[in-house]
Amino acid sequence: MIDLNVTINTALLTRTALTAIIGARLWPDTSEVLAGYTPNDGGALAFRIRGGDVLYRGGVARVSEQFKCWGIDKSTANQVESVLYDVLHDQAFGGIKSAYIEQIPQSSEEPDTEWPFVLAFYALWLAVV
């Protein structure tokens, strides 16, 4: 089976609306920022698989994915998530065959740094062959 996080990362990097707001700050298989990042650098997005299953006959994996969006303030973090929604919800591109948001995004702050972030959860169907 392929690396599902690589599939998602590669597909998302093709969405110019998203890369315009986060640049290359797209981090797969984590829910933490990379060392050296601060919100002053601009928006950022990390994601990781929460669970799911594989339909081998169909060559598709259904995953529940957590996306964590940061910004300099709550408004910017929400803007990152809004752009993610626009490029991902009800769309198909790259190895992503289908995607939809699972629930209303939740905003919060990092306990140690007080950096604002938004958590969003999506169901994705990914090609595995």
Tell how strand 44-55 and strand 106-109 pair up.
Answer: unpaired
pLDDT band at 56 (very low <50, low <70, confident <90, very high): low
Q: What value does the CA radius of gyration of the chain take, rounded to a whole number of Å?
A: 14
Average pLDDT of the chain to the nearest whole number? 93
Which tokens hold the place of 111?
Answer: 């306990």
Distance between CA 100 and CA 16 in Å, rounded?
19
Residues 36 and 60: beta-carbon distance below 8 Å: no
As a whole number, mean pLDDT of residues 62-75 equals 96
3-state secondary structure of 118: strand
pLDDT band at 84 (very low <50, low <70, confident <90, very high): very high
CA dihedral over 26, 27, 31, 32, signed as positive or negative: negative
The pLDDT of residue 1? 63
Q: Is residue 51 over pLDDT 90?
A: no
Residues 102 and 78: beta-carbon distance below 8 Å: no
